[in-house]
């Protein structure tokens, strides 16, 4: 994951590692579900090699987390002193995202294995290395 890709996980991690406030939109109760890349790749491979499956299949993690909970988890995992700040919620921001992976489970025998915490720990270390190996003031952090 690129540290400056503008997505919520990388934004929260970069903000926490820099000690900046963590930006949460709205009241933070909107939910998202995060699936670690290793699990997604495993699901893609199972789907690719499964004969006879020609229908759409959702892959992802069916365990949602609120944006406020995610911000607090990132702060805890990075040992950051960052505080959460709230900004207005964009009007087109979906309230909840949670994939139905029942077809993936039934047809592929697939479900995510990497917990969100472990996935975040790996991602935090990756982002930390990106920051350490770059001139942080030259990168377009959000």
Residue range 9-54, pLDDT digits in tens: 999 999 999 999 999 999 999 999 999 999 999 999 999 999 998 8
In this predicted structure, what is the pLDDT of residue 141?
Answer: 47
Alpha helices in the chain (DSSP H): 8-18, 37-48, 67-78, 102-103, 116-132
Q: What's the pLDDT band for 132 if we cut at 50, 70, 90?
A: confident
**pLDDT tens figures, 57-68:** 999 999 999 999
What tokens were used for 18? 């820099």
88 phi/psi in degrees, rounded to 5: -55, 145
Q: Measured between alpha carbons, how far is 32 from 11 in angstroms, rounded to an integer?
A: 15
Phi, psi (deg, nearest 5) at residue 22: -90, 125
Q: Cα 37 to chain center, whole Å? A: 10
130 pLDDT more than 70: yes
pLDDT of residue 91: 86
Please tell me the predicted confidence (pLDDT) of residue 135: 56
pLDDT, averaged across the chain: 91
Q: What are phi and psi of 3, to 5 degrees?
A: -60, -25
What letter would DSSP give residue 134? S
Q: What is the mean pLDDT of residues 122-131?
A: 93
């Amino acid at each position: 994951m690129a540290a400056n890709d503008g997505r919520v996980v990388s934004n929260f991690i970069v903000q926490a590692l820099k000690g900046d406030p963590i930006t949460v939109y709205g009241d933070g109760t909107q939910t998202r579900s995060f699936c670690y890349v290793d699990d997604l790749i495993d699901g893609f491979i199972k789907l690719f090699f499964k004969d006879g499956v020609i229908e759409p299949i959702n892959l992802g993690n069916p365990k949602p987390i609120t944006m406020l909970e995610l911000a607090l988890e990132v702060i805890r995992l990075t040992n950051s002193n960052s505080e959460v700040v709230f900004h207005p919620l964009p009007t087109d921001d979906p309230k909840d995202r949670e994939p139905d992976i029942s077809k993936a489970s039934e047809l592929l025998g697939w479900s995510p294995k990497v917990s969100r915490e472990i996935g975040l720990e790996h991602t935090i270390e990756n982002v930390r290395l990106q920051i350490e190996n770059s001139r942080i003031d030259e990168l377009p952090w959000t």
